Structure 1
Amino acid sequence: MASPRNVIIFGATGRIGSVAALKAYQEGAKVTLAMRDPLKPIPSLGDIVTEKVRADLTKPETVQTAVRQSGATTALIYAIHEMPDGMRRTLVALKEGGIESVILLSSFTVQGDIHAIPPTDIVPYIHAKVEIALDDVFGGRWSAVRPAYFASNALQYKDEIMQGDVRLPNADVEFDWISPEDIGRVVGVLLAHGAQERVVPLVGPNRLSLKDALSVIGRVLGKEIRITLVGKEQAVEDMQQKGLPEPAAKWFVEAVTGQRSFIWDVPDCQVGMDNVQKYTHKTPVMFEQWLEENKEKFAA
């Protein structure tokens, strides 16, 4: 009988990382959680047996130490926007610590030739740079999980939703609203059993405009929600106030005002829609179901 995979998960306090950790554990992997604060509790993991080590992806020396301490050979990482070198030093630290293969939580916005994405397309560009660096450091032994638009992105509007008025530059743009839990479960399976594909796109089962999504949110929360349309400059300012850096805010506003959808017109879309069920053997979570399970977060 093959020995269980030994995996280390960076970002385990986030929803995707914690679900990935739980799923990998349930699938038989030995799981180590790499955390800035190993004392921080992760209630969603319950009483599963995991080791916690101190590490920060922005500090390569801590990464190498954590990997050596864990003995892990597979790592889950995410892109750090503030690291301009595509996280190359961190990736080298992973490899020198003993990591043999990496799964990157990337983005569905990365399409086509990863070397041809311009810096002005800031979100896909940042993720593509990490993918390029992974290829340089690990050769063929890495995979990028590329989810589309998270259902949890609705929470960025929670204050406006609770006040009953949401400001948008385009209420008709459509998203797939994929559940973070579905993403985490797919990642957990890949960690435990290995990834055969270089790219694993993930697209949710919904096709809802922001306007229709807010209607569903209003129904689930029992609130009447009005939409106020605003110009691009105001929309960028609003997103910055929610904590999004200006370059990312500008990119997003341009993306959502320039077209009705940027998900269903790309070749990976149907594969991405099928992948949740393919890897988890479960029906993908619909947006309304995700809202019912997370509605308390809108009042938090």
Structure 2
Amino acid sequence: MSNTTSLTQTSSAPKTRVLVFGPTGQVGRYVALTAHRVGAHVTLAMRDPSKPISSLAGNGTEEQNFPRVKADLTDPASLTTAVTSTQSTHAFLYLPFNTPDFMRSAAEALRSAGITFVVFLSSSTITTSIDSVTPTHPISYGHAQVEKNLRDVFGPGGYVAIRGGYFASNTKLWKAQLASGEMKIKCAEARFDFISGEDVGSVAGVILAKGPKAVEGKGYIEVVGNTLISQREAAGILGRVLGKQLKFAEPDEEEVVRDIMRDMHCPEPVARYISGVLEAREKEEDGMYEGVRYEEGGKNIERFLGRVQIPFEAWAEENKELFL
């Protein structure tokens, strides 16, 4: 969605200098755009700084407003260079799953080089204390370990984890099925918030630019949509947007695991874990959208952005080229 975040810097204080890692992603691009609109000086930290990012041009913000620096979250030496060369003090990070130490060395390098505040893209699959998440839940475990490392390295007030909900962009895994009109979705009645990367990234961008005062020292905040729809409903919306007549059938377990491994480029144990997550969600036994944490998470979009969640229908219309 364009022009949904009308945020401007009102202070005459010097601009906060921030690094945004992953600016080509569904979330990172909106972190960069929003932090810029709020008034920060944004530098894009990229493994390949020559890569074009068409999504950062237009929308009232030209791409040339974003200088670039070569940096890799799995290469601490490159992080030191990136921070010192840009004089950045805040950074937005995501988890590269090929880091062996859950970003401990990256956090230490950033801190030593001059970063004082980190915004980390985490996951709302963390439903308990980060100290009690076990490796049997690989997605929440990986993000929880990073949160623990950020807590150790930056301390209270030095970081915040943005625990985003279930991304609308996950429906890209249905691209081939939507093209054929034959939908085999495991647990089609499982309901998710299908939050947009724009919602999560825009909240993260506001916090990145404004710093710890924006979150009052909290170690994490939930950013989830407050409207839940089933996977079947989401597929139906995409079908209407694409002009497709869809037929639904329940896949067998091995089909599900094979497709997850292929589409998400993950090993079989992770694919089987994800399959189990879908089963728990359909039965609403996962705790993902329950209690105070969900109620607060559903309010954070309006709290930070002054607007409601982008509806899935609007996201589908804006992003239909992803499925063509």
TM range (shorter): over 0.9
2:154 equivalent to 1:166 = no
- 1:15 aligns with 26
Residue pairs, 1:35-46, within 5 angstroms: 35-46=46-57
| Gap regions ≥5 residues in structure 2 | 1-11
Match of 1:252 in 2: 274
**What corresponds to 2:305 in structure 1?**
280
Deviations 1:239-285 (A, max 9, x none): 11113312332221001113423432243111111111110112210
Output the TM-score relative to the length of structure 2.
0.89
On the 8 A contact 2:126/2:144 being kept in 1, the answer is yes
> Which region of structure 1 is more displaced relative to structure 2, 229-238 or 49-58?
229-238
User: Secondary structure at the residue paired with 2:319?
Assistant: helix
Tell me if the contact between 1:205 and 1:285 (Cα under 8 Å) persists in the aligned partners: no
Measure, in 2, the Cα distance between the counterparts of 1:55 and 1:259.
37
Instruction: Give CA-to-partner distance per residue, 1:79-116, whole Å, 9 cap, x none.
Output: 12122311101111111111011010000001211011
Where 2:245 maps in the other structure, the secondary structure is: coil
Structure 2 CA distance for partners of 1:255 and 1:243, relative to 1, 3 Å: closer
CA gap of 1:258–1:283, structure 2 versus 1, over 3 A, is closer
User: Is the alpha carbon distance of 1:242 and 1:200 closer, same or farther for their aligned partners in structure 2, counting shifts above 3 Å?
Assistant: same
User: Which of 288, 295, 316 is the aligned partner of 1:270?
Assistant: 295
> 1:28 corresponds to which residue?
39
Tell me how large the CA RMSD over aligned residues is: 1.3
Deviation at 1:232, TM superposition (A): 2.6
For 1:2, the aligned partner's letter is: A
> In the aligned structure 1, how far is the partner of 2:87 from the partner of 2:15?
12
Is residue 123–residue 251 contact of structure 1 (8 Å, CA) maintained in 2?
no
Q: Which residue of 2 aligns with 1:220?
A: 241
TM-score using structure 1 length: 0.96
Write the deviation string for residues 19-43 of structure 1: whole angstroms up to 9, x where unpaired. Answer: 1101111111011110011111211
The residue identity in structure 1 corresponding to 2:83 is V
In the alignment, which residue of structure 1 is the partner of 2:9?
none
User: Is the CA contact 1:74–1:191 (under 8 Å) kept in the aligned structure 2?
Assistant: yes
Once the two structures are superposed, the pairs formed by residues 1-300 of structure 1 within 5 Å of their partners are 1-46=12-57, 47-48=62-63, 49-140=65-156, 141-194=158-211, 195-196=214-215, 197-246=218-267, 247-260=269-282, 261=284, 262=286, 263-299=288-324
How far does the alpha carbon of each residue in 1:118-148 deviate from its partner, in whole angstroms, 9 at most, with x for none? 1010000000000001011111110000011
2:209 aligns to what SS in structure 1? helix
Q: How high is the sequence identity, in percent, across the aligned residues?
A: 38
Deviation at 1:205, TM superposition (A): 3.5
Matching residue's letter, 2:67: E
CA distance in 2, matches of 1:248, 1:136: 28
